[in-house]
Amino acid sequence: MLPGMRRSRSFHYIMTQDLTKGKPFQVLLRFSLPVIGGNLFQLFYTLADSVIVGKTLGADALAAVGATSIIIYLVLCFIQGITGGFGICLGQRCGARDETGMRRSIAASLVWSILFTIVLTGICCGLAHPILHWMQTPGQIYDMAYEYMFAILAGTGATIFYNMISNILRALGDSRTPLYFLIFSSLLNIVLDLIFILTFHMGVGGAAWATVLSQLLSAVLCAICGARKFDVLRLKRKDFSYMKRESAAHLRIGFPMGFQMSVMCIGQLAMQAAVNAIGPDAIAGYTAATKVDQLSVLINNAFGVAIASYVAQNYGAGKWDRIKSGVKASLLQTEAVNILLGVLIIGGRNLVVPMFIDAPTDSIIHYANGYLLAVAPFYLLLGFLAVIRSSIQSMGNGKAPFAACITELVMRIAATFGLSALIGYTGVCLASPLAWLGADILLAVVYIAMMRSGR
């Protein structure tokens, strides 16, 4: 048990799944599957957005959505990072059986989530035009790109709210409730897409507002269900005491995680800007390919979320041998899935663009296939990165993941502009695998050192 944490006598009424007991492989698989399912449904409704936009509004509309997707993803990465860090704080207290600390952790997460909602919404909406100009967004899709991006960013609060409650529930050992409401959100999003675009003729803005509204409703229902299920979620005024100390602890883990995930996206911004400069066909092909590529990203992130909760609870309980066994089991599961995904995506690459666009040009197909052939063979690097980085962060080490993040950023930008000057579009596509490799090397060294030292 970590210093300063108090064990609660009534704790057995609080946690759905105790990750400090049972065989690591089975425990992690059982916990990971609902998280993977949730991420797959998240991908499902993201793909549904793109398919409906591409099929009903055309290639330019799809390109407009794609040209802004990395900005939206950057904000989402920060939100997922910081709320994930808050979840790690809660998970450590959960593993230490500290009920009072858990309540204070949830209170701190709520307060800071509200503050970040206000700040992020104001900054993102205010900078929408300058960002689109910097990214060299083509004039023929500029207005649609702004309309879509502004609507999504205006709904930042819904994204923060959903990710906060999801990470809280997972830290408590419940990975199923977020899945159920994400399924609901995905289906509702598709229905609202069709209503807003086909019935109300709201264009790409309709797709954006459908996403925001479905996520907001899912977050509210998930919070209500969680509060009924877990007594620690029914906060009282006293739980907001010691807020200064709790805030320091949460920001020390959460903010670096949010910042480092955002920094990673800056490199992807450079990639998107390089693709935007090529033209609408490149943007459309790149967008279609990256939408499918998100299948691997989301699945690897799911394994990262699962191992983060697992390591946090066992770190709080002081079970180092169990952490080692769990990380090995998680790597085995993650890389087995990555091998399968790589084979499927490479084999089915010619089916990707027709999913989004009717009668696509050969040029669009060329750009989509080029990206998938360059990235899919290297999913093993991404899987290792997701598992090891999450494990290190859950043991309270934020410096190494941040250093790895900077390494990834530098290598991604260098490859984007350096290799693209030599081999063109393929060089842009290879930037991601090279960035993963650089981060993997650094994190592997740090993880081995931490395991040997037992801290």
Residue 174 DSSP SS3: coil
Nearest alpha-carbon partner for 111 in 82, 144, 132, 91: 82
Tokens encoding 282: 């490149």
Tell me the CA distances in angstroms from 394 to 23, 98, 129, 316, 336, one per residue in order: 20, 17, 37, 10, 23
pLDDT value at residue 9: 43
Q: How many residues does the chain have?
A: 455
pLDDT value at residue 455: 54
Give the span between the Cα atoms of 161 and 212, in whole angstroms: 11
Tokens encoding 28: 């992690």
Give the span between the Cα atoms of 14 and 20, in whole angstroms: 14
pLDDT value at residue 34: 85
Output the CA angle 171-176-178, nearest 5 degrees.
75
Per-run averaged pLDDT (10 residues), the chain, 455 residues = 48 58 89 81 70 84 81 85 89 85 93 94 93 86 93 93 91 85 86 92 91 92 92 91 88 82 75 84 87 84 88 87 94 95 92 80 90 94 94 87 88 86 87 93 94 75
Give the span between the Cα atoms of 245 and 66, in whole angstroms: 42
pLDDT value at residue 439: 93
Q: Identify the sign of the CA torsion 279, 281, 285, 287.
A: positive
Tokens encoding 370: 């080029």
Residue type, 196: F
Nearest alpha-carbon partner for 387 in 317, 308, 297, 296: 308
Nearest alpha-carbon partner for 270 in 63, 149, 413: 413
Give the span between the Cα atoms of 283 and 261, in whole angstroms: 23
Tokens encoding 400: 């190494």
Nearest alpha-carbon partner for 352 in 335, 364, 336: 364
Query: Using only C-alpha atoms, what is the Rg of the chain?
Result: 21
Give the span between the Cα atoms of 51 and 292, in whole angstroms: 12
Tell me the CA distances in angstroms from 292 to 78, 90, 182, 342, one per residue in order: 22, 33, 19, 11
Annotate 309-376 with DSSP letters as a single string: HHHHHHHHTT-HHHHHHHHHHHHHHHHHHHHHHHHHHHHTGGGHHHHH-SS--HHHHHHHHHHHHHHG
pLDDT value at residue 1: 47
Longest CA–CA span in the chain (Å) reads 66
pLDDT value at residue 35: 81
To which residue do tokens 């809280």 refer?
Answer: 168
Give the span between the Cα atoms of 56 and 54, in whole angstroms: 6
